[in-house]
Amino acid sequence: MSSESSSRASILFPLPLPEAFDYLVPEGLELGLGDHVLAPLGKRMVHGVVWGLKPGPGERALKSVEAPMGGAPLPAGTRQFVDWLARYLVQPPGVILRSVLRSAEALKPSPTETLYQVSGTEAPRMTAARAAVLDAALALGEASAADIAREAGVGAGVVKGLATAGALTTISRPIDPPYGIPDPEAEGLSLTMLQAEAGGVLRRLVRAGGFQAALLDGVTGSGKTEVYFEAIAEVLRRHPDGQILIMLPEIALTAAVLSRFEARFGCAPAIWHSAAGPKVRRRCWREVAEGRARIVVGARSALFLPFTNLKLIIVDEEHDPTYKQDEGLPYQGRDLAVLRAKIEGAMIVLASATPSLESLTNAQAGRYVHVRLPARPGSAVLPQVDTIDLREHPPEAGRWISPPLIAAMVETLQAGEQVLLYLNRRGYAPLVLCRACGHRMTSPDTQSYLVEHRYTGRLVCHVTGFSMPRPKFCPECQAEDSLTSVGPGVERVAEEAKHLFPDAKIEIYSSDSASGADLVDRMERGEIDILVGTQIAAKGHNFPNLTLVGVIDADLGLAGGDPRAGERTFQTLVQVAGRAGRAERPGRALLQTHQPEHEAIQALIAGDRDAFLETEMMAREALGLPPFGRMAAISFQARDVQAVEAAAGRYAAAAPLTDGVEIWGPAEPPRALVRGWHRRRILVRADKAIDISAYLRAWKSRVKIPPSIRVTIDVDPYSFM
């Protein structure tokens, strides 16, 4: 076994193991860092990546690497990102690697298909079937045997026979073709002065090279997309092999957005998101790893793609809460994007009309270049925002649209314009209770109210997905027909709108909608009069004829005591109001509220974002909350409530004592029971100067928790509650 030339490789597996393991490299096998290999782990052969190479056979008897797996090696930047994240997120490195290796198929070359084409050579023994095939092949150009045979109305054997006879030639083509080459000089919109200026700043940053960060802070509808296209074009010009990642919130990956990319750069980008099928995934992953894909448009998980030469990352709608992943591996995609840009020496642009306090603080401190776009292009102006005080103008009993909002809707519809009614609640009613005994319908094993969905006639748990038919008898007191729906969801508001405007075309847009893309198209074309939507309808869309936005409940989200509630509500309301009046016709937004004096709502009416953020910042600073301090959450889950309490208690007791760190809890989180799993949570607040990841690692190493208890560490919890 041990010869002069033998060496060792440490192999990292995409598994929750504490570290990479050493293997012997068999003689004759040349391995490089980042190579994909098969190696024995227990009784199995497992796909791993060469993480280190060492000379000599070493002291211990080691197993051997079995075989190389092919595919482009994992680039150095990606490996560094994995190591960095493992430390930062307090996770075993293999857990991060698992987020990188998302397509084993991508390591193999693309499968090929055979296409047929008329060769021009005469076919011997012409028959009617053969003539039909030649006609079909001429009409189709390059096509598969099956397609030609179908067109000709014969069996595929006739096609193959003609190929053997030389009358058809065959071409072998990859099923996953490379992506088109984007053209930076393709015709775009002509930019306004403000846009050109902002674009110029971004182009200069691209030319400066290396890690650069910019906050593109522009009001809704100001054309931020066009401006960051300028940065993309500059990278395409300067770096013939440079790669660009554009991150969007998952639901913003619509046909409308993609066609704007195509229009500007002359070809479709590579696409990456969690719902993409294996074929889309393997193509994108392979092309990125081989350095051929130039532009990737993706959701947060695109961060983990193996870029070989990443030059620019755009995080569009950077404030969006969907960049935060809570399940599985918790991380904040926006922050990791900045980290990745640093490691790759790339530029990053964070774009938003309502930047997060984190990014604004970085811009104010000069860490990010602050690029502003204060106005919409051309004649488009920002919407006029007003409140409707529900205490003065209450809707009729059992209704949710107030008289002033109804009046505004009448005007808008009479002018032939569109209305968006916004309520961030899916279904018909958020709560169903028994009039006889007061029983509230909840999800089994989960402390969560069931939401009534009237279209499907079911009560649905939005936490676990559990659903049941609406019962006729109260499950508690058995009273008949005693269940009543409390409060509105979008279905109920749509029902009311239908009652008020029986002739209007009304649609509901929420994550329950079967075809959101179709709704967006029809809304854009003006085929819908009133769209009743949740936050999915509030993001990024351009509906030129939409001039009235009615917010059914502007107070939703302000209650509850989460210090982020004000910021989040403000962001959502700016975004939803920002859908109005994006083209020639001016728009307005009406907010129904019980507390028109609330700071977030006042700031919105005054259009004074900065004053609002100023007070928010002061509150955060006083409490030492992010961005002025660091937070982490440690969550415990178990089937047994006593076990989870004991484990959380022991964990808390083992906390290292340090100045500048405060430990809160263990306590019950907002959802303390889900699918029969009991949850407890410890919150950690640390001063900015403290390396909270290192602190959490040290803490974790002090406690042994039994495997029946799931422990999750989140170094960037979105909610502080």
Cite the annotated binding site by residue number: 434, 437, 461, 474, 477
298 touching ligand ATP, by CB under 6 A: no
Q: Are 136 and 130 in contact (CB under 8 A)?
A: no
d(CA 512, CA 488): 16
Tokens of 610: 């900065």
- Helix runs in 533-584, H state only: 565-577
Which one, 330 or 377, has the nearer CB to ligand ATP? Answer: 377
Site for ligand ATP in 198-227 (CB under 6 A): 218, 220-226
218 contact choice in ligand ATP, Zn ion, none (CB below 5 to 8 Å, kind-dependent):
ligand ATP
Exactly one of 41, 156, 165, 189 binds ligand ATP (CB under 6 A); that residue is 189
d(CA 368, CA 340): 15
Cα 2–chain centre separation: 50
Binding segment (CB under 6 A) for ligand ATP, from list 188-196, 341-349, 412-420, 617-625: 188-196
Dihedrals φ, ψ of 63, to 5°? Answer: -75, 165
Q: What is the CB neighbour count within 10 angstroms for residue 399?
A: 16
Q: How far is the CB of 362 from Zn ion (least distance, A)?
A: 54
Q: How far is the CB of 460 from Zn ion (least distance, A)?
A: 20
In DSSP terms, which residues pair with 629 in a beta bridge? 687
238 touching Zn ion, by CB under 5 A: no
HSE of 47, CA atoms in CB hemisphere, 13 A: 17
Q: How far is the CB of 435 from Zn ion (least distance, A)?
A: 8
30, 39, 51, 67, 588 from 58: Cα distances, Å: 18, 18, 17, 20, 73
Q: Which of 716, 638, 646 is nearest to 675 (CA)?
A: 638
195 touching ligand ATP, by CB under 6 A: yes
DSSP annotation string for 600-634: HHHHHHHT-HHHHHHHHHHHHHHHT-TTSEEEEEE
Which one, 224 or 453, has the nearer CB to ligand ATP? Answer: 224
Size of the site for Zn ion (CB under 5 A): 8
Residue nearest to ligand ATP (CB): 223
437 contact choice in ligand ATP, Zn ion, none (CB below 5 to 8 Å, kind-dependent):
Zn ion
Q: What is the CB neighbour count within 10 angstroms for residue 185?
A: 10
Q: How far is the CB of 542 from ligand ATP (least distance, A)?
A: 4
434 contact choice in Zn ion, ligand ATP, none (CB below 5 to 8 Å, kind-dependent):
Zn ion
436 touching Zn ion, by CB under 5 A: yes
434 touching Zn ion, by CB under 5 A: yes
In the block, tokens 């081989």 appear at 290
d(CA 37, CA 49): 6
Q: How far is the CB of 479 from Zn ion (least distance, A)?
A: 5
Site for ligand ATP in 539-558 (CB under 6 A): 540, 542
Which one, 79 or 585, has the nearer CB to ligand ATP? Answer: 585
698 touching Zn ion, by CB under 5 A: no
d(CA 139, CA 150): 13
Which amino acids are annotated as binding site for Zn(2+), given as ranges? 434, 437, 461, 474, 477
Q: Is 274 left (phi over 0), alpha (psi -120 to 50) or beta?
A: alpha
Write the interaction track for ligand ATP spanning residues 428-447; mark x where CB under 6 A is met and - where it is not.
--------------------
582 touching ligand ATP, by CB under 6 A: yes
Size of the site for ligand ATP (CB under 6 A): 18
Write the interaction track for ligand ATP spanning residues 337-356; mark x where CB under 6 A is met and - where it is not.
----------------x---
Q: Is 291 left (phi over 0), alpha (psi -120 to 50) or beta?
A: left
Q: How far is the CB of 679 from ligand ATP (least distance, A)?
A: 36
Pairing, β 530-533 against β 506-509: parallel
Which one, 481 or 518, has the nearer CB to Zn ion? Answer: 481
Q: How far is the CB of 587 from ligand ATP (least distance, A)?
A: 12
556 contact choice in ligand ATP, Zn ion, none (CB below 5 to 8 Å, kind-dependent):
none
Which one, 372 or 399, has the nearer CB to ligand ATP? Answer: 372
91 contact choice in Zn ion, ligand ATP, none (CB below 5 to 8 Å, kind-dependent):
none
446 contact choice in ligand ATP, Zn ion, none (CB below 5 to 8 Å, kind-dependent):
none
In DSSP terms, which residues pair with 459 in a beta bridge? 452, 468
HSE of 1, CA atoms in CB hemisphere, 13 A: 13
Which one, 317 or 529, has the nearer CB to ligand ATP? Answer: 317
d(CA 609, CA 603): 6
Buried b vs exposed e over 449-468: b needs ≥16 C-beta within 10 Å?
A: bbbbbbeeebbbbbebebee
Q: Which residues contact 202 (CB under 8 A, 6 or more apart)?
A: 214, 216, 227, 228, 230, 231, 234, 349, 371
Q: How far is the CB of 288 from ligand ATP (least distance, A)?
A: 25
Buried b vs exposed e over 404-436: b needs ≥16 C-beta within 10 Å?
A: bbbebbeebbeeebbbbbbbbbbbbbbbbbbeb
Which one, 219 or 497, has the nearer CB to ligand ATP? Answer: 219
Which one, 182 or 377, has the nearer CB to ligand ATP? Answer: 377
Q: How far is the CB of 188 from ligand ATP (least distance, A)?
A: 9
Write the interaction track for ligand ATP spanning residues 226-245; mark x where CB under 6 A is met and - where it is not.
x-------------------
Which one, 224 or 281, has the nearer CB to ligand ATP? Answer: 224
Tokens of 449: 């109210």
Which one, 193 or 657, has the nearer CB to ligand ATP? Answer: 193
Q: How far is the CB of 112 from ligand ATP (least distance, A)?
A: 40
Which one, 323 or 677, has the nearer CB to ligand ATP? Answer: 323
Q: How far is the CB of 340 from ligand ATP (least distance, A)?
A: 23
Exactly one of 377, 430, 489, 717 binds ligand ATP (CB under 6 A); that residue is 377
Q: Which residues contact 499 (CB under 8 A, 6 or more apart)?
A: none
Q: How far is the CB of 203 from ligand ATP (least distance, A)?
A: 16
Dihedrals φ, ψ of 464, to 5°? Answer: -105, -15
Write the interaction track for Zn ion spanning residues 441-480; mark x where CB under 5 A is met and - where it is not.
---------------------------------x-xx-x-
486 touching Zn ion, by CB under 5 A: no
Q: How far is the CB of 604 from ligand ATP (least distance, A)?
A: 15
d(CA 287, CA 202): 27
Peptide bond into 374 cis (omega under 30): no
Q: Is 467 left (phi over 0), alpha (psi -120 to 50) or beta?
A: beta
Q: Which residues contact 233 (CB under 8 A, 6 or more apart)?
A: 184, 185, 265
318 contact choice in Zn ion, ligand ATP, none (CB below 5 to 8 Å, kind-dependent):
none
Which parts of this chain interact with Zn ion (CB under 5 A)? Answer: 434, 436-437, 439, 474, 476-477, 479
Which parts of this chain interact with ligand ATP (CB under 6 A)? Answer: 189, 191-192, 195, 218, 220-226, 353, 377, 540, 542, 578, 582
